[in-house]
Amino acid sequence: MIRPRTLRPALLHLALGGALLGATTLSYADEQPAFQKNSPDILLGPLFNDVQSAKLFPDQKTFADAVPKSDPLMILADYRMQHTQSSFDLRHFVEMNFTLPAEGEKYVPPAGQSLREHIDDLWPVLTRTTDKASNKWDSLLPLPKPYVVPGGRFREVYYWDSYFTMLGLAESGHWDKISDMVDNFAWEIDTFGHIPNGNRSYYLSRSQPPFFSMMVELLATHDSDALKKYRPQMEKEYAYWMEGVDSLQPGQANQRVVKLDDGSVLNRYWDDRDTPRPESWLDDVNTAKNNPNRPATEIYRDLRSAAASGWDFSSRWMDDPQKLGTIRTTSIVPVDLNALMFKMEKLLARASQDSGDSAAASQYEALATARQKAIENHLWNDKEGWYADYDLKSKKVRNQLTAAALFPLYVKAASQERADKVAAATSARLLKPGGITTTTINSGQQWDAPNGWAPLQWVATEGLQNYGQNKVAMDVTWRFLKNVQHTYDREKKLVEKYDVSTTGTGGGGGEYPLQDGFGWSNGVTLKMLDLVCPKEKPCDSVPENQPAANDEAAPVKAAAQ
């Protein structure tokens, strides 16, 4: 068992000293159960390895989510005694000693539902609670309040998915669910020092794209005190991402933070462990075996760090798009992550101002300004005309165009001139019949062409609107919505990802079959429906005709200051 982590108030590029806060935590009386923080591969050692290697289950996540019926140490001792016997049956041993995750009930929607009605009816179906008295050996981490899962094989809440799910919950008027989920994430920050990838013990060693401050910003449109209330947790999360920055010399990196040769401070994705992921154990082991010239631990860390990015997996992280073993996530400084960090700094400045702490507000503004300059200097490819990732090994910006190029527009960190160039590149190279493609490379990985993902469609739409690029924004919105509608008309479900090379087809690739549900697709679809229909006459399904780009429902927002 691990105790809640004690955090220093902050480790910032500019010393905030005591100005940060007398950090407070949210109080949940009788809501902090004892639970297991050790990942199942640690608890079960050779038994875990042997079960996953034996391919007892089609999905490696099944055994990672299995619950021991007794103390894992006792189960492991029994295994060591029995497994060499000629009559030993591994599957029987697992069935006797573990409760396997139940098959989720198949949701059958009522006939004749519109797209909006279907999504609205799904919210309670996707809502979960965790039993405070649940088995203490369970890898599922109990949360104080109800939460919404993405759907499909996913029985837990996921960090960055949840922001886009919340956008839909807001459209459906479920502010109670949004508040509950923000409370849960704040509790995780107070308990673990960060928001893990998901509420599983095996996800504790990493986070995901940091959207917590934007969740609070969303909640603040309904609860004006939200930024002030959650400021302590916002600052703790910032401290997690910036941990170790004060001791870095130019050209050094530590966990999630890097300092470039010119002193610029930026962030990267990182997982604290360098072992196979329990939920994809055999896949990772085989990836390492197929690449004997690299240390296995290095490959494992880069695979895990790609999972932290949310883009697992993509040619974006690989030297050879066709060879997963060339992945090197930790030597890449991602443009989308640093755009989100810029947004976090801006929102921390706003939260500090709301709290009456103008000194801290000024310091966070200075941090945001410094990061914006670093983004412009190091994450802009002037030759190509788009934002891209920075390569720590070659010490230069990469050339690959991906949908991540739109994140500086999304957070209003770009200049108008550069935003216009990104819009042109998006229209010419990323925009397809069914939305924008994740990258221009077809590698067979799920975060590559021809797949399009709902969160990236929304980032593109919002980002383009921020700079008056309404025509391209409407093209993205319309094409993706038609894709969603065509798929729904045929299959009566929304899915995790879509093939955008056409319309009406779910995406492929990845380590598991296509999942339905699906939280972030639901949320983005509801937001986009409001963009294509007049406010006075909301639509329940995608209309037949595309509205004009300057439609009142898609106003131009202020560009970056």
The catalytic site residues sit at 312, 496
List Cβ neighbours of 338 (8 Å cut-off, separation of 6 or more): 266, 267, 371, 374, 375, 379
For residues 137, 138, 139, 143, the Cα torsion angle rounded to the nearest 10 degrees is -120
Under DSSP, is residue 178 helix (H, G, I), strand (E, B) or coil?
Answer: helix
Q: Does 155 show up as a binding residue in the annotation? A: no
Q: Does 197 show up as a binding residue in the annotation? A: yes
Q: Does 328 show up as a binding residue in the annotation? A: no
Q: Does 152 show up as a binding residue in the annotation? A: no
Q: Does 511 show up as a binding residue in the annotation? A: yes
Give yes or no for a cis peptide into 313 (omega within 30° of 0): yes
Under DSSP, is residue 91 helix (H, G, I), strand (E, B) or coil?
Answer: helix
Q: Does 491 show up as a binding residue in the annotation? A: no
Q: What is the distance between the alpha carbons of residues 245 and 259, in angstroms, rounded to a whole number? A: 8
Q: Does 124 show up as a binding residue in the annotation? A: no
Q: Does 298 show up as a binding residue in the annotation? A: no
Q: Does 206 show up as a binding residue in the annotation? A: yes
Residue 547 backbone zone (phi > 0: left; psi -120 to 50: alpha; other: beta)? beta
Q: Does 153 show up as a binding residue in the annotation? A: yes
C-beta of residue 272 within 8 angstroms of C-beta of residue 34: no
Q: What is the distance between the alpha carbons of residues 158 and 203, in angstroms, rounded to a whole number? A: 10
How distant, in Å, are the alpha carbons of 276, 333, 447 from that of 328?
15, 11, 15
Q: Does 31 show up as a binding residue in the annotation? A: no
In this structure, is the dihedral angle defined by the CA atoms of residues 184, 188, 190 and 196, taken in order, positive or negative?
negative
Amino acid at 449: A
| HEC per residue, 450-477 | CEECHHHHHHHHHHHHHCCCHHHHHHHH
How distant, in Å, are the alpha carbons of 8, 265, 543 from that of 12?
11, 10, 49
Q: Does 490 show up as a binding residue in the annotation? A: no
Residue list for the binding site for substrate: 153, 160-161, 197, 206-208, 277-279, 310, 511
Residue numbering of the annotated binding site? 153, 160-161, 197, 206-208, 277-279, 310, 511
